[in-house]
Amino acid sequence: MDRTEEAAPPPLRVGLIGYGLAGSVFHAPLIASTEGLTLDTVVTAHPERRAQVHAEHGSSMRTLATTDELFARAHALDLVVIASPNRTHYTLARQALEAGLPVVVDKPLARTSAEAQQLASLAAERNLMLSTFHNRRWDNDFRTVRALLADGALGSEVRRFESRYERWRPEPKGGWRESGDPAEVGGLLYDLGSHLVDQALTLFGPAIAVYAESDVRRPGAEADDDTFIALTHADGVRSHLWVSAVTAQLGPRFRVLGSEAAYVKDGLDPQEAALREGARPAPGQRWGVEPESAWGTLGDLEARRPVPTLDGDYPAYYAGIVTALREGAPPPVTAHEAVATIRVLEAARTSAREARVITTNLA
């Protein structure tokens, strides 16, 4: 080996807390496929999920039943990823930071913006990385919207940004995500709504006004399953965001109205479906690819053209985490950004409850 070459540093050892949907479908596969990371330990109390871990990541993968066991060996880890139910995010993230470990937390970062700000302050005091997994910034359609805006393809200004995560699930599935207990932080507002708000703030910056309508539509449901959010951004753009489980015919995923053209896109990014089916990102192979039949269109009433959808890129999130930990760069989603998103969600909840526009405590 050339003496000028430096040996690659050993991979960063990751402890993953939780192996439900978030842990098994998103975090574990992406961690395992990211150069510079190795999945070291998975914490899950469920024997069936421990068996699943071993089936998917090898019989030698370390599994623990409690987070106390994980933090007892904090010295042997370089990063903790929290993919457990929302009610646990704040407590576990605080424990990890107090143990001296950088942290990735699945969205939302915490139950309240006050809790989220406490975590952000603690991470800054300890000089530790804290990031939230807003992976939908790397959806193929969202990446395409960002590129069109950067190119000025819609004109000199965007007048309205419409974004939807709609589903047709007339029967509640149950579980903590649909619980009416406020401690569980369930409901679509804080679930898919977290992604939509984060995307809108990423594109257009801070909100100065929030209006929302939020309902529980399905018989037997406890948490919001049909919510609309309207944001007015400081730059004048208006974002209209929908999350729903009761949409029998789906609206466009994106409709972005500019001063010279509009972009309309149907369908969903293919990465989640691919991960659920067992596909994994691999070096040198395209990922998050969409067929031409699913491309969106750009134009006006006189002329429209299909726009090739950029590939989805969930692997970019954890690649960015490696860069942040190795080089001290900002993480791909900062704690400050996560706090701002939760403040908007809190304002939306207040607006829906009180039927008024919220204009304070948004930044």
For the domain that residue 98 is a member of, what is the CATH number? 3.40.50.720
Mean pLDDT across 129-144: 98
> Is the model's pLDDT at 4 over the cut of 60?
no
Average pLDDT on 282-289 reads: 92
Statement to judge: residues 176 and 269 lie in one domain: yes
What is this structure's pTM? Answer: 0.94
* Rounded Cα gap, residues 147 and 153, in angstroms: 9
In this prediction, residue 104 has a pLDDT band, given cuts at 50, 70 and 90, of very high
Residue 2 pLDDT > 80, yes or no? no
- Is the predicted pLDDT of residue 324 greater than 70, yes or no? yes
Q: What is the mean pLDDT of residues 135-159?
A: 97
Alpha carbons 332 and 322: distance in angstroms, whole number: 10
326: buried, middle or exposed (CB in 10 Å: 19+, 13-18, 0-12)?
Answer: exposed
Which of the four pLDDT bands, split at 50, 70 and 90, describes residue 183?
confident
Rg (CA), the chain: 21
Residue 108 lies in a domain: yes
Find the DSSP H helices in the chain: 21, 28-32, 47-57, 67-72, 89-98, 113-126, 140-151, 192-204, 271-276, 315-327, 335-354
- 22 and 152 fall within a common domain: no
pLDDT greater than 80 at residue 277: yes
Higher pLDDT, 360 or 2: 360
pLDDT exceeds cutoff 80 at 1:
no
User: What is the average pLDDT across 242-262?
Assistant: 97
pLDDT of residue 203: 98
- Residues 48 and 24: their CA atoms lie apart, in Å, by 12
Average pLDDT value for the chain: 95
**Do residues 225 and 92 both lie within one domain?**
no
Residues 262 and 147 in one domain: yes
C-alpha distances out from residue 262 to 157, 161, 238, 242, 296, Å: 11, 10, 14, 19, 10
What DSSP designation does 356 have?
A: S
Residue where one domain finishes, among candidates 90, 109, 133: 133
**Other C-beta atoms lying within 10 Å of the C-beta of residue 146:** 15
Express the helix, strand and coil content of the chain in percent, nearest 5 each: 35, 20, 40
One domain, residues 68 and 166? no
Q: Which domain holds residue 125?
A: 12-133
Number of domain units in the chain:
2
How high is the pLDDT of residue 325? 98
Whether the pLDDT of residue 58 is over 60: the answer is yes
One domain, residues 96 and 186: no
Q: What percent of the chain has pLDDT over 70?
A: 98
- Report pLDDT for 5: 58
Whether residues 48 and 123 share a domain: the answer is yes
Residue 40 has pLDDT above 70, yes or no: yes
Residues in the chain: 363
| Three-state secondary-structure class, residue 17 | strand
